[in-house]
Amino acid sequence: MTKSAFEKYLHAITAKAMCGDAVRRDELLAVLASNDDDLLDVIAAAGRVRRKFFGRRVKLNYLVNMKSGLCPEDCGYCSQRLGSTAEILKYSWIDVAEAARHARCAIDAGAKRVCLVAAGRGPSDRDIGWIAGTIAAIKESAPAVEVCVCLGLLKDGQADRLREAGADAYNHNLNTSAKNYAQICSTHTFDDRAATVAAAKSAELSPCSGAIFGMGESDDDIIDVALALRELQPDSVPVNFLIPFEGTPLGRNWELTPQRCLRILAMFRFAFPDVEVRVAGGREIHLRSLQPLALHVANSIFLGDYLTSEGQAAQDDRAMIADAGFVIEGVDEPTLPAERHDLVVTRHRGAGTSAAANT
């Protein structure tokens, strides 16, 4: 595609996204396949969409790794997987007071959402009880904070129990396309993951689901997983870039460039114009000095450390946000644009009625 043809194409994609209309597969693919000469135009266009729905707000999320390592599943990207020799912290459930203390510090540092994560295939009923106690302790000290839970595959009734315990959201990522899924994991399937996201949504937990890139996937795989996510209608979409841990099967996959990461983020913004798009794991190591550009596209980041690796210093994250002209979203501010049901008026005139048509 020539430069001027791409500019026209980008203009049309942006107009669609600004109206909240679904951007087509071929359009998303064109964003992903665009070249470095067009990168700033792509970021500027995605930035217009971001500002329309989210202004200059950046939501901060904080991870608490409740139980680390020794997972029986074999996700190839994960340092906590079965057989991983990565030298990570390994521990069983931390106690409620410790989790609540970490959450309180993060909230004081600007986090609006606390994500309680535990390694494993899925929670036992006892685990759900443990998480329920932790949610209660966090909410007692900060009632307005959002608590998201990430415990793996859910069994019948567990999403309801989490909702009743006060969880606001549930995270379970699809990670890669259905076609590529068997390449990264053999102990559960893409459909298992999608079913858990659907179960969380049915239980009225805010669904959070995203993906990981840099695992050898093609552009088509990236679009496939983005479109599969769109069907699940998540409220938040974490975009992870592989953290290649030595001692895991993907430990040598250093295939991402900062430009590639920014194009992926921009494509997600066009695919999810009014949905929280979060730059998640791998932000620092893959975007490097271009991190501030990602803020023009995504409206959410993790503050502090990841599950098993360290992130940029929290004060540097806050300074980056301020330097780039953005503001941290407060706990009392809604993230998603308000629903405007008042604009949807049921037709009672014209065809099928005796009232005059709107002509």
Binding residue ranges: 71, 75, 78, 115, 148, 208, 278
Among 110, 123, 152, 311, binds ligand SF4 (CB under 6 A): 152
Neighbouring C-beta atoms of residue 68, cutoff 10 Å: 20
**Residue with Cβ nearer ligand SF4 (40 or 82):** 82
Collect all residues with Cβ–Cβ distance below 8 Å to 319 and sequence separation of at least 6: none
CA gap 284, 290 in Å, rounded? 9
3-state helix, strand, coil in the chain (%, to 5): 40, 15, 45
Q: CA 262, 146, 118 angle in degrees (round to 5)?
A: 75
CB of 75 to ligand SF4, least distance (A): 3
Among the options 50, 57, 75, 113, which is catalytic?
A: 75
**Residue with Cβ nearer ligand SF4 (119 or 314):** 119
CA gap 292, 321 in Å, rounded? 7
CB of 224 to ligand SF4, least distance (A): 20
CA gap 298, 254 in Å, rounded? 23
Size of site (CB under 6 A) for ligand SF4: 8
CB of 312 to ligand SF4, least distance (A): 22
Residue 208 known to be catalytic: yes
Amino acid (1-letter code) at residue 44: A
Among the options 115, 150, 185, 261, which is catalytic?
A: 115
SS (H, E, C) 296-317: CCCCEEECCCCCCCCCCCHHHH
Among 75, 103, 114, 194, binds ligand SF4 (CB under 6 A): 75
Q: Does 243 bind ligand SF4 (CB under 6 A)?
A: no
Q: Does 71 bind ligand SF4 (CB under 6 A)?
A: yes
Residue 19 known to be catalytic: no
CA gap 112, 257 in Å, rounded? 30
CA gap 86, 83 in Å, rounded? 9
Residue 148 known to be catalytic: yes
**Residue with Cβ nearer ligand SF4 (10 or 228):** 228
Residue 105 known to be catalytic: no
Residue 78 known to be catalytic: yes
Neighbouring C-beta atoms of residue 149, cutoff 10 Å: 31
Query: Are the beta carbons of 169 and 235 closer than 8 angstroms?
Result: yes
Residue 288 known to be catalytic: no
Q: Does 127 bind ligand SF4 (CB under 6 A)?
A: no
Helix, strand or coil, per DSSP, at residue 278: strand
Q: Does 119 bind ligand SF4 (CB under 6 A)?
A: yes
Among the options 185, 208, 263, 269, which is catalytic?
A: 208
Which DSSP state fits 287?
I
Binding residues for [2Fe-2S] cluster: 115, 148, 208, 278
Q: Does 68 bind ligand SF4 (CB under 6 A)?
A: no
Q: Does 80 bind ligand SF4 (CB under 6 A)?
A: yes
Q: Does 73 bind ligand SF4 (CB under 6 A)?
A: yes
Residue 50 known to be catalytic: no
Query: Which residues contribute to the site for ligand SF4 (CB under 6 A)?
Result: 71, 73, 75, 78, 80-81, 119, 152
For the annotated catalytic residues, the residue numbers are 71, 75, 78, 115, 148, 208, 278
